[in-house]
Each structure stands twice: as C-alpha cells, then as structure tokens.
Structure 1
Amino acid sequence: MKLLIASDLHGSARFCSELVCRIDAEEPDRILLLGDLLYHGPRNALPEGYDPMAVAEMLNALKERIIAVRGNCDAEVDQMVLEFPCGGDYIELIDRGRTLFATHGHLFDADELPYLAPGSAFISGHTHVKLLEEQSGILLVNPGSISIPKDGSASYAVYKDGAFALKGLDGTTLAERALPPAR
C-alpha cells in the first residue's frame, strides 16, 4: 500500500494544485488527508491563492482515492461541498499487521497518544511542522502543512512498504524512516 499524506491545505487553491501534481507524480494507492482542508481558521492569515471552492473541486476529482479526517478548522458545512467523508476525528489503517493511526492532531497529539502497540505509527497534522521520529516504539509522523508551513517549507509525506518519507512540495525527500520493530 502506498499512501500520500497531506494536511492543512486551509483552502489554498495554489498549493492544492501543486499537491495534485505531486499526487500525479507519486501515484499513491490512496490519499490520506489529515484535516483543515477548506477554511483558513481565525488564527491563520489567508493563504496564497485562497479559494475553498476550487480546492473542493480539485479534491472531489480524487474522491475515490481519498481517506480524510476532520481538522479543527473543518465544519459541517464543508461536508456539503466535499464528495468524500471527512467527519471522523481519526481513522486506523492496518498494513502488514501494523496500525497507522491518523488524526488531525488537535484531540490526540505526541503528548496525548491513544494506546498504540509498539511498531505502530501515529500520523497527525495540525502543528504545521514536519516531524518524523520514534517515541517509545511508536513512529510519530507529521507531514507539515501544504499551504501555511510554520517551519519554512510546504511538505507532505509518503508511506510505502512499512516506511515513511517526508517530502518537500517539489518532491525532494527531506527525511525517511521505517516503522520501528513490533514487540
């Protein structure tokens, strides 16, 4: 299974368009979106190219491949324009017997993890800061933000064959790490 993982688009058609180009280049089986898709939120400035309806149209064109969770800036009205479900707070995917727990990051985070067996991955967005590190046998993965990165560069992640890669929006690999061994 190959996943492309992105978070915090915040309604930027410009950056969503670049993400769609990366999706075309990466050819993932599924696209995992970690919330904050259409609205910029009251604490964020409008991102470049802010056009939530254009973002909805781009994402809807990929609806058969999208798995999504709700972010803290996502609202019930967003679901009215999105043609794929994004109302859940988290989703658990199982690959090769290992759990990939995906959430936005405002309810669960690296300091408040749900129970996960060693060898699992905790995947979240919300902070707009890339992260790929192991903590107590759990791999913490944050793809950063597509449109409002707080660490200097827009990014996404790819999961394939038990390993994650953080990538810049130009496709450059920034970091790689395999899931820790299951105990």
Structure 2
Amino acid sequence: MRILVFGDIHGSLPTARRIVELAVQHRPNQIVLLGDILYHGPRNPIPQGYDPQACVRELTPLAERIIAVRGNCDSEVDMNLLPFPMADSFTWLFAEGLRIFATHGHTYSPQNLPPLAVGDIFLSGHTHVPTANIHKGIVLCNPGTLTNPKQDHPACYGLFDGGCFAVITQSDEVYLRLEGL
C-alpha cells in the first residue's frame, strides 16, 4: 500500500497543486494530511500563493483518498469548507501490518507520545521539520512541509511504500529514508 503524507499546507495554492501532481505521479492508495490545511496561523508568514478557497478546489478531486487530522491552525469554519472529514486530533491507520498513529503534533508529539507499542509509527507534522528515526522502539516520522520549511530543511513530503518511509524533497530527491518498517 502506498501512502502519501503532507504536513502544514497553510492555504498555499502552489502546495495544493503540487499535492495533486504528486498524487498523479505516485498513485497512492491514501493521502494523509497532517493538519494546518487552510490557514497560516498568526506566527507563520503568509505562504506564497495563499488562497484557501482555491486549495479546497484543488484538493476536492482527491477527497475520496484523503485522511486528515486537525491542526492547531484549523478552525471549525475551515473544516466546513473541506470536501473530506477531518479527525479532531488524531486517527489510526492500519496498512500492511503497520499501526500508524497520525496526528498534527501540537498535542501529541515526540516529546509527549500517546501509549504506543514497540514497532508502532508516530506520524506528525506541526514543526515543519522532517524526521525519520526510531526512539525506544517507536518509529517517529514527520514529512516536513512543502509550504514553509524550517531550520534550513528543504520543502518535503512523505511516502510510505513497501515497508519504507521516505521524506522526499520538492525536486523528488530522497532526503531521509527509514526501511524495514
């Protein structure tokens, strides 16, 4: 099963368009959006091409494959615009023997994990910083963001495929890779 993962779109139309392009390129079974979909929030700069309504129109054709969780910048009004449901703070995904706990990252985080078993995957966004590592048997994955990357990381997204999580740059280069999941 192939799962594309995106964090923190923040209403950027170029990012929404890139998500559609990547969905065509990778042909995923599911697309996971890790919150902060339409609004940039008061602490972030206004993203290039900020257009939340156009983002909704771009993402609508993918709605049947999208699994989304709510971020700290997602309001109820935003959620009413989306053509797909958004889980309040987390959701579970089960794929090819993997248990994936997907959340935005502002409530649960690598520093405040929910009860997870060894081998479970904790998938989050929020920080705009990509990660792919294992801590105390828990797999920690963050796709970074295509919109406003931080700490000098490139614009990135995530891909689960064949027991591997890869963080891939905007220019389609593998930035981080974790195998054997």
Report the TM-score when normalising by structure 1: 0.94
Structure 2: distance between partners of 1:49 and 1:22: 18
The equivalent residue for 1:134 is 134
**Is the Cα contact below 8 Å between 1:22 and 1:171 reproduced in 2?**
no
Residue type of the alignment partner of 2:58: M
The equivalent residue for 1:114 is 114
The equivalent residue for 1:172 is 173
Provide closer, same or farther for how the CA distance between residues 155 and 103 of structure 1 changes in structure 2, counting only shifts above 3 A: same
Cα distance per residue 1:71-94 (max 9 Å; x no partner):
000000012211101142101112
1:152: how far off?
3.3
Structure 2: distance between partners of 1:51 and 1:62: 18
Structure 1: distance between partners of 2:165 and 2:31: 14
The equivalent residue for 2:56 is 56
Provide closer, same or farther for how the CA distance between residues 171 and 155 of structure 1 changes in structure 2, counting only shifts above 3 A: same
1:144: how far off?
0.4
Q: Percent identity?
A: 44
Provide closer, same or farther for how the CA distance between residues 87 and 94 of structure 1 changes in structure 2, counting only shifts above 3 A: closer
Structure 1: distance between partners of 2:155 and 2:173: 11
**Is the Cα contact below 8 Å between 2:132 and 2:178 reproduced in 1?**
yes
> How many residues are aligned here?
180
Residue type of the alignment partner of 2:123: I
Please show how residues 61-80 of structure 1 align to structure 2 within 5 Å: 61-80=61-80
Structure 2: distance between partners of 1:128 and 1:31: 18
The equivalent residue for 1:9 is 9
1:153: how far off?
1.4
The equivalent residue for 1:26 is 26
**Is the Cα contact below 8 Å between 1:119 and 1:179 reproduced in 2?**
no
Structure 2: distance between partners of 1:141 and 1:58: 26
Residue type of the alignment partner of 2:165: F
Report the TM-score when normalising by structure 2: 0.95
Cα distance per residue 1:96-150 (max 9 Å; x no partner):
3331110000000001001111111100000000011110011100000120110
Runs of 4+ in 1 over 4 A off after TM superposition: none
Structure 1: distance between partners of 2:164 and 2:136: 17
1:179: how far off?
4.9
Structure 2: distance between partners of 1:96 and 1:26: 18
